[in-house]
């Protein structure tokens, strides 16, 4: 054993990670507010005393995490992570873990019911107006599965928004991203499927308007059970979320 070096190797984290962590801390602690500029790469190089390549690797980490973005002119700025983008990562994880539609359905049922309960309790006039507008557009495309499916997904997003609970909004997003794209197949495959969907939405909105929680929950349950019946005509609930289906959700993520 050679002369003991005596204290070394505490560094552990690579420099690019430290750069990312340092910037992240500033943002989380609120010293850099969303929308504020981070500075140019050159400035970061000067501040951290590392090479630009290293800074850039750190930036990529934060960018992927949704903490910073580049504005129109490509300058760096802090930003509020979009639920949507993060949820996409989670949806991807769910696919890789090969979850089944049964798991998806069960959890969505829980979360959508919670959404409607919150919406019945706390929906604002504006929330209700948005839902009403969505319903109107839905009624107009009742024969078009593709457009109707998109509006259905939006209806449920609006319902979560109307619950005024952002944690719930975020929690339902990953499952919803995988769940709702199937609507198109189902509505297209079941006669009167579109009409039933719009009818359910109508009753749900009505319940929210009347602050009638029981009715809201009842119709939300029916609505999802309808989905389930439709789905089971096409595939087994216990099959994993297929890669083929994944590609569908995937193409739409941009």
**Phi and psi for 37 in degrees, rounded to 5?**
-75, 150
Site string for DNA, 23-52 (x = CB under 7 A): -----------------xxx------xxxx
Q: Does 41 bind a second copy (CB under 8 A)?
A: no
Q: Which does 149 bind (CB under 5 to 8 A by kind): a second copy, DNA, none?
A: none
Q: What is the largest CA-CA distance in the chain?
A: 83
Structure tokens at 115: 């959404």
The C-alpha R_g of the chain, in whole angstroms, comes to 23
Helices and strands (H and E) in the chain: how many: 12, 2
Please report how close the Cβ of residue 27 comes to DNA at its closest, in angstroms: 17
How many other C-beta atoms are found inside a 10 Å radius of the C-beta of residue 184? 19
Residue 221 to residues 50, 99, 106, 126, 242: CA-CA distances in angstroms?
56, 22, 11, 24, 25
Alpha-carbon gap, residue 119 to 110, rounded angstroms: 14
Which span sits near DNA by CB under 7 A: 13-21, 118-126, 139-147, 211-219? 13-21
For the record, the structure tokens of 162 come out as 């109307």
Q: Does 70 bind DNA (CB under 7 A)?
A: yes
191 in contact with DNA (CB under 7 A) = no
DSSP 81: P
Q: Contacting DNA (CB under 7 A), which of 24, 54, 174, 246? A: 54
Please give the residues from 183 up to 242 whose contact with a second copy meets the rule CB under 8 A.
Answer: none
The yes or no reply on residue 61 touching a second copy (CB under 8 A) is yes
CB of 250 to a second copy, least distance (A): 7
Q: Which residues contact 157 (CB under 8 A, 6 or more apart)?
A: 176
| 203-232 footprint of DNA as x/- string (CB under 7 A) | ------------------------------
| Cβ(159)–Cβ(116) below 8 Å | yes
Q: Which residues bind a second copy (CB under 8 A)?
A: 16, 27-30, 34, 53, 56-57, 60-61, 63-67, 80-81, 83, 86, 89-90, 92-97, 99, 103-104, 106-107, 110-111, 114, 118, 165-168, 170-172, 174-175, 243, 246, 250
Q: Which residues bind DNA (CB under 7 A)?
A: 9, 14-16, 40-42, 49-54, 56-57, 70, 72-76
């Amino acid at each position: 054993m050679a002369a003991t070096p005596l204290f070394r190797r505490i560094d552990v984290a690579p420099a690019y990670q430290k750069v990312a962590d340092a910037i992240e801390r500033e943002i989380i602690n609120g010293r850099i507010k969303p929308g504020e500029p981070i500075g140019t790469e050159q400035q970061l190089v000067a501040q951290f005393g590392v090479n630009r390549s290293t800074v850039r690797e750190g930036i990529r980490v934060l960018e992927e995490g949704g903490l910073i973005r580049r504005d129109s002119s490509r300058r760096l700025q802090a930003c509020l992570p979009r639920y949507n983008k993060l949820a996409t990562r989670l949806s991807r994880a769910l696919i890789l873990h090969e979850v089944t539609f049964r798991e998806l359905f069960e959890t969505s049922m829980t979360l959508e019911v919670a959404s409607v309960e919150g919406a019945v309790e706390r929906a604002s006039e504006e929330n209700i107006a948005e839902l009403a507008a969505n319903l109107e557009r839905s009624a107009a495309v009742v024969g078009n599965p593709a457009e109707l499916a998109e509006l259905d997904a939006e209806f449920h997003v609006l319902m979560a928004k109307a619950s005024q609970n952002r944690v719930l909004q975020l929690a339902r997003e990953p499952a919803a991203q995988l769940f709702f794209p199937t609507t198109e197949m189902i509505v297209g495959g079941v006669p009167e499927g579109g009409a039933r969907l719009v009818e359910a939405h109508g009753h749900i909105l009505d319940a929210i308007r009347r602050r009638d929680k029981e009715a809201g929950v009842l119709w939300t349950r029916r609505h999802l059970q309808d989905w389930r019946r439709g789905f089971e005509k096409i595939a087994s609930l216990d099959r994993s979320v297929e890669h083929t289906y994944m590609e569908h959700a995937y193409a739409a993520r941009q």
